[in-house]
Amino acid sequence: MKVKRIMSKLKFLMHKKFLANLAAVSIALLIIILLQSLLMPKYVTAIPEGNLVREYYDEVKKHDLIFIGDCEVFSNFSPVTLWEKYGITSYIRGSAQQLVWQSYYLLKETLTYEKPKVVVFNVLALKYNEPQKEAYNRLTLDGMKLSPIKLEAVKASKMEDESFISYVFPILRYHSRWSELTAEDFKYIFKRDTVSHNGFLMRVDVKPVTTVPEGRKLADYQFGENSYAYLDKITKLCKDNGIELILIKSPSIYPYWYKEWDEQMVAYAEKNNLRYINFLDLTDEIGIDYSTDTYDAGLHLNLSGAEKLSDYFGRILKDEYGLEDHRNDEEYRQIWEKKVDFYYAMKEDQYRELKEYGYLKSYGAASPDN
Amino acid sequence: MLFTTSRFIFFLLGVILIYQLLPQKFRWIWLLLASYIFYCFSGIKHLIYITVTSLSTYLASIMLDKLQKEQASYLKENKESLSREERKAYKAAMKSRQRRWLVLCMLLNFGILAVLKYTDFMIANINGILDIAGSKRQLAFMNFVLPLGISFYTFQTMGYLIDVYREKYPAEKNPFKLALFTSFFPQLIQGPINRFDELKESLFAGRKLTINNVSFGTQRILWGFFKKLVIADRLLVAVSTIIHNTDEYQGVYVLVGMFFYAITLYADFTGGIDIAIGVAEIFGIPFRENFERPFFSKSIAEYWRRWHISLSSWFRDYMFYPISVSKPMLDLSKFCRKHVGDWLGKRIPIYLASIIVWFTTGIWHGAAWNFVVWGLLNCLVILVSQECTPLYEKFHNRLKVGNSFWYRMFQVLRTFWLMSFLRTLDCYQNVGLTFKMYSTIITRFNLMELFRGGLMKLGLTRYDYIVLVPAVCLLLLVSLTGRKGSVRKQLSAKPVMVRYLVYFAIFLAVLILGAYGVGYDSSQFIYSRF
């Protein structure tokens, strides 16, 4: 009896110690997670592009159309316009200087959540055959949820001086921000304001195109092997999933789109039985006016330009790809009504800021004094 | 593979996991394999050098052991039949045969080290002479890449061989065990230079991991990370700014650079040693301590008994004493006493041995004249200090300063600054430039610069100083606490909440405040270029 009592007491003590250690470790982990959340940049008022990838996960994932690509998709196409005019549901899985392998992995990840009918890919990214900049890698990859697909994307994207582990534990990258924390970092530690409209970054300001210089001569116009390899993967992924892939060149006039590049895309599309649309050739039809429809002299369209382009493209999607009009579907209407309200509220707010400050202070625009 | 990388942490976790899963008798084999895997990260083609050192030392030590056993056996068998002179002659002959093996092996291994480390130094000097002689001919540099840890493992292994020669212990019969002693991964980057008899019990025992060893070892590693990442790598930015812009940073900046470099070097080197010792401790292997609060030293001689202890003791045991008591040196002593008197006669052999040792110490640190000058200046200061000891004692007695706190503080500060001055030769890496910068302390002394934001012009922000000041104070506090005994043991006696808070705080300090990652120069340990 005595021995039994001793044994049970010992068991209890050990149990208590184990629980205490477990509690200590759990609290420590929680603190580290909290610190990581505090130290990561919030991308709400400055560089809102950084929030584009992560906002997708909050979505109800029922989209007939998915865009993948760089700023020429997230600035130039408006999903709300596609909805309002045609009832087409879409999402832009775009990000700043999104490279073709990143587009592939983002698409692959998207297909684990939903199966769209059409995928649109902006082909400008093919000009980059290798990883480019750590900053842009971060803007695209940090927003991705941790998964085997994200790890593949990191492996394909990382520069030589980047560490793989810092993408799994971003605190290893952003720890030095402790000396740069602002009120925004504390305000958005748990939840951030939505910055996009289904991946579209709205800008109502205008900076007209003044000159359109010719692109300088290149030594080699051929897109690299790595770029083509990933374009093939995107093509195959869509074919294997019964998705129509449309290759596009968005109507941004910078960076310069060479004739030689265009020819390669025409040839690729023909070879793979794909549609390729160069919107730069259709700007008159679309009605784009580069004196009013761009916020940075032709790099990106502003809201006006994006709505025109979306209106034009929406007709093609409806007439030629048969994308369904969901405006009479109650379930979709409930989701999209809120989006439309948010869209027009932001539009109003941006015009107000423009009037008050002369620039879009809270929307990532640079002050005219800089 | 640097210690302070995530790759090393994962490597270590993998080694520990497999070590724990293996039966005891296979664990030392796993440590050997892991050490070679670790070595491969620094360049697989460099494996040849460490393998040659290990194998040649093994063969030589086996030969020495064989000759020693042969001698013992012969003398035993012929105890009655041999005269005293015959026994003496036989021993001398056998010793000579052993010496041949010893010298051959040492020539091979020190030769490899010399060729790889000093060839370009010799070429630079030859080119300099050719230039002075007016010749246009210049020899091409070989640009040999130094294998990881070659200075450390060569000395460690030759120390083992000399011990076997001296019959301190028998040779290790298993070549793979000797290979483990040579290549055990924690000691490769910065040492310490271990002794075989101190390690052999634990290194091959495959001791099981205990909570105590793992806990204490991890704490030591964490402390090493703190010193390296929070202090050393951060302060190195300022040191680099000062020493690479000598036109701009003169006068008071030279003193600032000296001070910062002292802290950087200390934090970097002791941090690396802490990690090495901590890793070994996890496996129950007690590495020898390499530092004993050297900045609390009251003289340069004491400093060298407390700084890089494993190297200075190696030179003392394997170079200084053998040279001092060697026949040529004893003959020289006799000659000097006869011709120049007792006073000088006694000193010349010691001075000569000291000069040789300090020359070698200097050249061990780097293949450049600034290191040679640094070594010889250390020697000069120590010898002068020793000669002045009677004067100092008279002074103490006259002024009755004795053991007063303020005088001891003066001694500590004097030693600190004297060593910092000498260490500047390592900073500027050029003798002429170093002395020129010394001179600017007088000719361009500009103390007001510091009060006009001078410290903010060294690549550090005020946030860096906000981190550095308490971090260095903590370093000082831990050193002061360490005088009473093991800091970890003292900490383990505190309540569990206090302990966990301290561990977590240090961990967070490393994680958040460490100078690592994109935007920081991930610099090598300063001593790993040896």
Quick: pLDDT tens for A212-232: 878 899 999 999 999 999 999
Q: Is B89 part of a structural domain of the chain?
A: yes
Q: Is A80 part of a structural domain of the chain?
A: yes
Q: Is B482 part of a structural domain of the chain?
A: no
- For testing contact with chain B, the best of A179, A180, A181, A185 (most B CBs within 10 A): A179
Most distant CA pair in chain A: distance in Å?
Answer: 96
Torsions phi, psi of B474, nearest 5? Answer: -65, -40
- Looking at beta carbons, which residues of chain A come within 8 Å of B6? 163, 165, 172
Q: Is A20 part of a structural domain of the chain?
A: no
Count of structural domains within chain A: 1
Please tell me the distance in Å from B22's CA to the nearest CA on chain A.
26
Indicate the pLDDT class of residue A13, thresholds 50, 70 and 90: low
> What pLDDT, on the 0 to 100 scale, is given for residue B530?
46
> What pLDDT, on the 0 to 100 scale, is given for residue B259?
94
Which CATH number covers residue A245?
3.40.50.1110
CB-based contact (8 Å) between A19 and chain B? no
CB-based contact (8 Å) between B211 and chain A? no
Torsions phi, psi of A333, nearest 5? Answer: -60, -40
Answer yes or no: do A39 and B512 touch at CB < 8 A. yes
> What pLDDT, on the 0 to 100 scale, is given for residue B524?
38
The three-class DSSP label of residue B26 is: helix
pLDDT over 90 at A315, yes or no: yes
Report how far residue B394's alpha carbon sits from residue B411's, in angstroms, rounded to the nearest whole number.
Answer: 16
What are the CA-CA distances from residue B68 to residues A295, B62, B269, B300 (Å)?
89, 10, 40, 40
pLDDT over 70 at A14, yes or no: no
Q: Is B23 part of a structural domain of the chain?
A: no
Nearest CA in chain A to B500: A24
Nearest CA in chain A to B461: A179
Q: Is A24 part of a structural domain of the chain?
A: no
- Looking at beta carbons, which residues of chain A come within 8 Å of B510? none
Answer yes or no: do B512 and A165 touch at CB < 8 A. no
Quick: pLDDT tens for B248-262: 899 999 999 999 999
pTM of the model: 0.89
Please tell me the distance in Å from B518's CA to the nearest CA on chain A.
7
- Looking at beta carbons, which residues of chain A come within 8 Å of B517? 163, 166, 172-173, 175-176
The three-class DSSP label of residue B41 is: coil
Tell me which residue of B216, B268, B261 sits closest to B239, measured CA to CA.
B261
Chain B segment 436-465 residues within 8 A of A by beta carbon are 461, 463
pLDDT over 90 at B334, yes or no: no
What are the CA-CA distances from residue B124 to residues A367, B131, B443 (Å)?
56, 10, 32
Answer yes or no: do A172 and B508 touch at CB < 8 A. no
CB-based contact (8 Å) between A220 and chain B? no
CB-based contact (8 Å) between A211 and chain B? no
Report how far residue B12's alpha carbon sits from residue B209's, in angstroms, rounded to the nearest whole number.
Answer: 14
Query: How buried is residue A338: exposed, middle or buried, by Cβ count under 10 Å (0-12/13-18/19+)?
Result: exposed
Total residues found in chain B within this entry? 530
Cα–Cα–Cα angle for A254, A256, A261, rounded to 5 degrees: 140
pLDDT over 60 at B525, yes or no: no
Quick: pLDDT tens for A47-85: 899 999 999 999 999 999 999 999 999 999 999 999 999
Indicate the pLDDT class of residue B429, thresholds 50, 70 and 90: confident
CB-based contact (8 Å) between A32 and chain B? yes
Nearest CA in chain A to B499: A24
Indicate the pLDDT class of residue B527, thresholds 50, 70 and 90: very low
Tokens of B82: 């041999």
Q: Which of A24, A32, A175 sits opposite B514 (nearest CB)?
A: A175
Report how far residue A139's alpha carbon sits from residue A136's, in angstroms, rounded to the nearest whole number.
Answer: 5
Please tell me the distance in Å from A25's CA to the nearest CA on chain B.
10
Tokens of A351: 């015009």
Residue B506 neighbours by CB distance under 10 Å: 17
Please tell me the distance in Å from B285's CA to the nearest CA on chain A.
27
Residue range B412-436: mean pLDDT, rounded:
90
- Looking at beta carbons, which residues of chain B come within 8 Å of A162? 518
Indicate the pLDDT class of residue B401, thresholds 50, 70 and 90: low
Report how far residue B156's alpha carbon sits from residue B110's, in angstroms, rounded to the nearest whole number.
Answer: 12
Q: Is A6 part of a structural domain of the chain?
A: no
pLDDT over 70 at A9, yes or no: no
Size of interface A-B (CB pairs under 8 A): 41
Tell me which residue of A171, A158, A169 sits closest to A41, measured CA to CA.
A171
* Residue indicated by tokens 């704490």: B219
pLDDT over 80 at B387, yes or no: yes
Cα–Cα–Cα angle for B365, B371, B375, rounded to 5 degrees: 90
User: Do B303 and B415 touch, CB atoms closer than 8 A?
Assistant: yes
DSSP state of B481: H
pLDDT over 80 at A3, yes or no: no
**B177 and B47, same domain (yes or no):** yes
Q: Which of A171, A173, A179 sits opposite B518 (nearest CB)?
A: A173
Q: Is A349 part of a structural domain of the chain?
A: yes
| Segment (H or E) for B120 | helix B84-132
- Looking at beta carbons, which residues of chain B come within 8 Å of A179? 461, 463
pLDDT over 60 at A156, yes or no: yes
Q: Is A76 part of a structural domain of the chain?
A: yes
Provide the terminal-to-terminal Cα distance of chain A, rounded to the nearest Å. 83
Q: Which of B504, B512, B517 sits opposite A173 (nearest CB)?
A: B517
Answer yes or no: do A163 and B6 touch at CB < 8 A. yes
What percent of chain A lies above the pLDDT cut of 90?
A: 83
Domain that holds residue A74: 40-363
pLDDT over 60 at B526, yes or no: no
Quick: pLDDT tens for B221-243: 999 999 999 999 999 999 999 99
Report how far residue A84's alpha carbon sits from residue A17's, in angstroms, rounded to the nearest whole number.
Answer: 61
Among A33-37, B165-169, B313-317, B486-490, whose mean pLDDT is lowest? B486-490
Tell me which residue of B110, B191, B189, B179 sits closest to B148, measured CA to CA.
B189
| Contact partners, residue A232, CB within 8 Å, separation at least 6 | none
> What pLDDT, on the 0 to 100 scale, is given for residue B294?
94
Nearest CA in chain A to B7: A165
**Cis amide leading into A170 (omega within 30):** no
> What pLDDT, on the 0 to 100 scale, is given for residue B426?
85
pLDDT over 70 at B528, yes or no: no
Answer yes or no: do A176 and B520 touch at CB < 8 A. yes
Report how far residue B249's alpha carbon sits from residue B458's, in angstroms, rounded to the nearest whole number.
Answer: 9
CB-based contact (8 Å) between B390 and chain A? no
Report how far residue B36's alpha carbon sits from residue B98's, in angstroms, rounded to the nearest whole number.
Answer: 31
Mean pLDDT, all residues of chain B: 90
User: Do B283 and B295 touch, CB atoms closer than 8 A?
Assistant: no
CB-based contact (8 Å) between B140 and chain A? no
Report how far residue A299's alpha carbon sits from residue B424's, in angstroms, rounded to the nearest whole number.
Answer: 54
- Looking at beta carbons, which residues of chain B come within 8 Å of A24? 500
Among A361-370, B135-144, B180-189, B255-264, whose mean pLDDT is lowest? A361-370
Quick: pLDDT tens for B70-81: 999 999 988 888
- Looking at beta carbons, which residues of chain B come within 8 Å of A20? 496
Cα–Cα–Cα angle for B127, B133, B137, rounded to 5 degrees: 45
Indicate the pLDDT class of residue B392, thresholds 50, 70 and 90: confident
Nearest CA in chain A to B462: A179
CB-based contact (8 Å) between B511 and chain A? yes
Q: Is A120 part of a structural domain of the chain?
A: yes
Among A116-125, A297-306, B124-133, whose mean pLDDT is lowest? B124-133
Answer yes or no: do A175 and B513 touch at CB < 8 A. yes
> What pLDDT, on the 0 to 100 scale, is given for residue B402?
63
Domain that holds residue B359: 296-429
Answer yes or no: do A175 and B517 touch at CB < 8 A. yes
Please tell me the distance in Å from A173's CA to the nearest CA on chain B.
6
Indicate the pLDDT class of residue B339, thresholds 50, 70 and 90: confident
CB-based contact (8 Å) between A340 and chain B? no
pLDDT over 90 at B83, yes or no: no
CB-based contact (8 Å) between B513 and chain A? yes
The residue ranking higher by pLDDT, B370 or B345, is B370
Q: Is B9 part of a structural domain of the chain?
A: no
What does the H/E/C string look like for chain A? CHHHHHHHHHHHHHHHHHHHHHHHHHHHHHHHHHHHHHHCCCCCCCCHHHHHHHHHHHCCCCCCEEEEECHHHHCCCCHHHHHHHHCCCEEEEECCCCCHHHHHHHHHHHCCCCCCCEEEEEHHHHHCCCCCCHHHHHHHHCCCCCCHHHHHHHHHHCCCCCCCHHHHCCHHHHHHHHHHCCHHHHHCCCCCCCCCECCECCCCCCCCCCCCCCCCCCCCCCCCHHHHHHHHHHHHHHHHCCCEEEEEECCCCCCCCCHHHHHHHHHHHHHCCCEEEEHHHHHHHHCCCCCCCECCCCCCECHHHHHHHHHHHHHHHHHHHCCCCCCCCHHHHHHHHHHHHHHHHHHHHHHHHHHHHCCCHHHCCCCCCC
**Cis amide leading into B192 (omega within 30):** yes
- For testing contact with chain A, the best of B511, B520, B523 (most A CBs within 10 A): B511
Report how far residue A305's alpha carbon sits from residue A77's, in angstroms, rounded to the nearest whole number.
Answer: 9
Q: Which of B463, B496, B512 sits opposite A175 (nearest CB)?
A: B512
Residue range A252-258: mean pLDDT, rounded:
91
Q: Which of B6, B508, B517 sits opposite A176 (nearest CB)?
A: B517
DSSP state of B459: S
Report how far residue B230's alpha carbon sits from residue B227's, in angstroms, rounded to the nearest whole number.
Answer: 6
> What pLDDT, on the 0 to 100 scale, is given for residue A91?
98
Q: Which of B500, B507, B511 sits opposite A175 (nearest CB)?
A: B511
> What pLDDT, on the 0 to 100 scale, is given for residue A226?
96
Answer yes or no: do A166 and B518 touch at CB < 8 A. yes
CB-based contact (8 Å) between A14 and chain B? no
| Contact partners, residue B80, CB within 8 Å, separation at least 6 | none
Answer yes or no: do B513 and A173 touch at CB < 8 A. no
Quick: pLDDT tens for A322-332: 999 999 999 99
C-alpha dihedral (A253, A258, A264, A267), degrees to nearest 10: 70
Count of structural domains within chain B: 2
Q: Is A368 part of a structural domain of the chain?
A: no
- Looking at beta carbons, which residues of chain A come within 8 Å of B520? 176
Tell me which residue of B307, B267, B280, B293 sits closest to B220, measured CA to CA.
B280
Answer yes or no: do A171 and B511 touch at CB < 8 A. yes
* Residue indicated by tokens 């971003």: A170
DSSP state letters, B135-203: ----PPP--PPPPTTHHHHHHHHHHHHHHHHTTSSPPPS-HHHHHHHHH-GGGTTT-----HHHHHHHH
The strand order across the sheet containing A275-278 reads A90-94, A65-69, A118-122, A244-249, A275-278
Q: Is B325 part of a structural domain of the chain?
A: yes
- Looking at beta carbons, which residues of chain B come within 8 Å of A134? 518
Please tell me the distance in Å from B367's CA to the nearest CA on chain A.
30
Quick: pLDDT tens for B434-450: 999 999 999 888 888 88
Residue B23 neighbours by CB distance under 10 Å: 7
Nearest CA in chain B to A36: B512
Answer yes or no: do B6 and A172 touch at CB < 8 A. yes
Q: Which of B504, B514, B517 sits opposite A166 (nearest CB)?
A: B517
β-strands A275-278, A118-122: how paired?
unpaired
Report how far residue B204's alpha carbon sits from residue B185's, in angstroms, rounded to the nearest whole number.
Answer: 14
> What pLDDT, on the 0 to 100 scale, is given for residue A370?
58
* Residue indicated by tokens 């007209």: A208
Residue finishing a domain among B133, B150, B183: B183
Indicate the pLDDT class of residue B529, thresholds 50, 70 and 90: very low
pLDDT over 80 at B361, yes or no: yes
pLDDT over 80 at A193, yes or no: yes
